[in-house]
Amino acid sequence: MKRWINIADHGDAVTLIKELAPEFGTRIQDQKVNNGAHTPDVRPYLTARETGLALAEVPG
């Protein structure tokens, strides 16, 4: 694994641990998003700017 981008909403109860970098090292980049009232819903995660930027870095 070259790098992992962890995207989590502060209020999402499903993602109990929001920051993975302290546990797994410098190859993990933690990104916070705000899904509003739809915290556990996957759609806000998939349409978040942070998710798009992470996917744009994947080699074609």
Note the pLDDT of residue 1.
64
Torsion-angle region of 27 (φ positive above 0: left; ψ -120 to 50: alpha; else: beta): alpha
pLDDT at 4: 92
Q: What is the pLDDT of residue 23?
A: 94
Question: What is the pLDDT, as a whole number, of residue 14?
Answer: 87
pTM above 0.95, yes or no: no
Residue 28, both tokens: 């993990």
pLDDT in tens, the chain (60 residues): 688 999 999 999 888 899 999 999 999 999 999 998 887 889 999 999 999 999 998 887
Token pair belonging to 50: 């942070």
Residues 6+ apart with CB under 8 A from 12: 35, 39, 40
